[in-house]
Structure 1
Amino acid sequence: MSAILEQLAPESTLADDRYADIRRRAHQRLMQHGFPDLKTEAWKYTSLKLLEKRELSTASGDVVASPEALPFSADVIRFDGGLVDEAPTNLPAGVRLEPIDPVELVNLDYGDRAGAMAWLNLARFEQAWKLVIESVLDRPLVLAMTLPEGFSASVHPRLKIEVASGAEAVLIEQQRDHGEGLVNIVQDIELQRGARLRHVISRRNAGSVWVQRTRVSVAADADYRCCALELAGRLVRQDLAVHLLEDGANGEIDGVAFVDSRQHVDWHTAIDHEVGHTNSRESFRILADGSGVGVFNGRIHIQRGADDSHSDLNTANLLLSENARINTKPELEIYAEEVTASHGATIGQLEDSALFYLRSRGLPVDQAMALLKFGFAAAPLEQAQPAAVREWLNADLHSVL
């Protein structure tokens, strides 16, 4: 991986500003440990060698692309080429976007657990923003990131999201790619006591490599629910870790990913019950066609003393061609006794009997197969709220299938 290090992390180009010391320390850690390869357990199905073949610039350029129109009312924060030009002034009441103080950013550094791409982000980020939600929002808040055609930059957005005690929001990440660059995102989401966050990820990629690490902290009686639609591109890696820190914390993840030829998507999730009287649930589905590759690794960790924790993990996967591959692994790691926990995993194909039934009712084979695929894939999206957001996700899924 030395070629990737030379391309993405030359020390001579580190920015010299108030974050300079943070960048240098992150760069040193990255140089010490290097990038993951196929011998690294968490990356054994996903190679980053594609980055060695690309000449990535360090600037996003002047070309911007407008985000797709949304079929519902929302407040939008735009990230052009991965960057916010300046803090928006038209945010709804109870929402602030401001730069992160260097001292606070140091506290978000998780040492060796962060991983190479997170260290790369910390060494290379141009902006570090904090989004604060302090009220109950009456319409969704959208983080719209659109990469234009010809995009070949390496960008490293960094964002901390705080949802204050008693606040509620629907937060949508609308990510659209038309280029061949690298987007390496690090997010920290903090839900304070009694907060509610519905987190929607809608990603449709082209040729860019897209890596995102999201860490969620859930306090007492707070509720975090993620719903993801991954219409994969050339290479996508998503790490999502949810930490249930106090009594009454709840964490849920629902997602579906579709991959076709020359596409690769890798989702790694972890839900950590750090104390008892906490609840979690996860459902994830992958559909793989052509020569596409799908990877899912879901982990539930119930720590010692976290009695009266309850969790359920299920992954179902559909192979649509002989050359497609799906690697899936659910994990339960339990150190407490008074808990309920379950997990399950399946990999299968479309049932001939179901296809025959639809054909016998007059549907052409293409429509019949599309209907079966949609019925399988849409189940996790039923958890998306409000209804207008769910219909928008279903429409995107339907257009691909």
Structure 2
Amino acid sequence: MSELAERLAPESALAADDFSDLRQAAQRALMQHGFPDLKTEAWKYTPIRLLEKREFQTGAASSAEAPELPFDACLLHFDNGILNADTAELPAGVKLEAATRDDFEGIEYGGREDAFAWLNLARFGQAWKIRIEGELDKPLVLATTTADDFAAAVHPRLFIELADNARATLVEWQAGGGEGMVNAVNEIRVGQGAALNHVMRRSGGDIVRVSRTRVDVVRDAEYRSFVLDTGARLGRQDLNVYLKEAGAHGEIDGTVVLDSKQHVDYHTSIDHCTGHTNSREAFRLLADGTGVGVFNGRIHIHEDSDDSHSDLNTASLLLGEMARINAKPELEIYSEDVTASHGATIGQLDDDALFYLRSRGLPTEKANTLLKYGFAAEPLEGQAEAPVRDWLLAELQGQL
């Protein structure tokens, strides 16, 4: 994969700016380790060799209009992955500014498994910082759209901070066409007593999208994530939640729906870094045609993290003979006074349930859709923001 590293991150393309030393260090790490391959455990199911078949241009905005939202919200539009801050709609309590060197302090990546994070650090355009104070009265939407002719490799980078006792719903909405790549890194901090409702809506035909999100949750703060992903040619999401102080609470609920020529890979982790913390995770995957879904969910309860409680559950449906799903729940526990559970199931639609619906007069296709919807909708129904929940369920129903 060293040839791929040289093609995606040529030395001559390094920007000369206030972050030059960070970029150069990231460049050296990327060239040293290279990109992951089939022997890299965390990436063994992710076919990144697809990138070797594509030529990526320099990123540029397309001047497309911002998407229309189906609910009342404030919008930041990343056109072809690039934000025009002059068009940003910022409500009271939200501040947008360019990130500084201080925001990059303490960033640590590993080896080959973190290659795309190194690539982002070497190649990001403008890094932005969003600070949220108080309680937002409507969602803040970060909409990334790509044009049908999108062929660039772009590397958005965001730092998002909720002040102490703040309340917000944040929606990441990614959609569009083209054969380019969006390689994003987000760093989120949920302040003391704050609560973040984080929604991720992903879709996009032949695009390659790689996203890495780190969330730090401190004392008495809450983080809840809801994911609806309806596929891409290649999609990879790493979501790492760190419960760093007592009273921290983290939840992840997700639904992934795939069809032919789609591959989506979700790697999640929740780290109980101290005691008196709680977490829960539920993920559903449905794969049809030749679609491939991957879910690796990890709960890590560190040493001296007594009175921590966690639950992890994943369930999957194979809807076609050629579809594949790889599911791997993990518990890693180093404290004794904890409760932790995990479970995983993979199966097909229940023939008895299908027969029951057909016996009540429903056509086979309608009965299949109802069963798939009932299975896939459950993780999304806990979304507390009613307009956002209705939108997610309508998007799911349309996809099925």
Please, what is the CA RMSD of the aligned residues?
1.3
Aligned to 1:45: 45
Report the secondary structure of 2:390's partner residue: helix
Q: Does 1:57 align with 2:57?
A: yes
* TM-score, scaled relative to structure 2: 0.98
Give the drift of 1:92. 0.8
Query: Residue deviations 1:220-263, cap 9 Å, x none?
Result: 00000000000011000000000000000000000000111100
Residues in 2 aligned to 1:51 and 1:358: alpha-carbon distance in whole angstroms? 44
Report the secondary structure of 1:23's partner residue: helix
Residues 17-56 of structure 1: pairs in structure 2 closer than 5 A: 17-56=17-56
Give the drift of 1:67. 4.4
* TM-score, scaled relative to structure 1: 0.97
Aligned to 2:362: 363
Query: Residue deviations 1:102-145, cap 9 Å, x none?
Result: 23224334454971000000000001011000111010000011
Q: Which moved more, 1:50-59 or 1:99-108?
A: 99-108
Give the drift of 1:385. 2.3
Residues in 2 aligned to 1:112 and 1:194: alpha-carbon distance in whole angstroms? 34
Question: Identity over the aligned pairs, expressed in percent?
Answer: 60
Report the secondary structure of 2:392's partner residue: helix
Residues in 2 aligned to 1:67 and 1:266: alpha-carbon distance in whole angstroms? 28
Give the drift of 1:72. 1.4
Q: Which moved more, 1:350-359 or 1:243-252?
A: 350-359
The count of corresponding residues between Structure 1 and Structure 2 is: 400
Query: Residue deviations 1:266-316, cap 9 Å, x none?
Result: 000000000000000000010000010000000000011000000000000
Report the secondary structure of 1:392's partner residue: helix
Residues in 2 aligned to 1:165 and 1:103: alpha-carbon distance in whole angstroms? 19
Aligned to 2:114: 115
Q: Which moved more, 1:63-72 or 1:1-10?
A: 63-72
Aligned to 2:348: 349
Report the secondary structure of 1:354's partner residue: helix
Aligned to 1:222: 221
Q: Does 1:190 align with 2:153?
A: no
Residues 59-138 of structure 1: pairs in structure 2 closer than 5 A: 59-60=59-60, 62-86=61-85, 88=87, 90-110=89-109, 112=111, 115-138=114-137
Q: Is the 8 A contact 2:33 2:112 kept in 1?
A: no
Give the drift of 1:347. 0.1
Aligned to 1:9: 9
Gaps of 5+ in 1: none
Give the drift of 1:363. 1.2
Give the drift of 1:71. 2.1
Report the secondary structure of 1:337's partner residue: coil
Q: Is the 8 A contact 1:216 1:243 kept in 2?
A: yes
Residues in 2 aligned to 1:87 and 1:191: alpha-carbon distance in whole angstroms? 26
Q: Is the 8 A contact 1:64 1:148 kept in 2?
A: no
Give the drift of 1:327. 0.3
Q: Is the 8 A contact 2:76 2:88 kept in 1?
A: no
Aligned to 1:306: 305
Aligned to 1:278: 277
Give the drift of 1:66. 3.5
Structure 2 CA distance for partners of 1:126 and 1:221, relative to 1, 3 Å: same
Gaps of 5+ in 2: none
Give the drift of 1:89. 5.6
Give the drift of 1:21. 1.3
Supply the AA of the counterpart residue of 1:184.
N
Supply the AA of the counterpart residue of 2:210.
V
Residues in 1 aligned to 2:321 and 2:167: alpha-carbon distance in whole angstroms? 45
Supply the AA of the counterpart residue of 2:168.
A
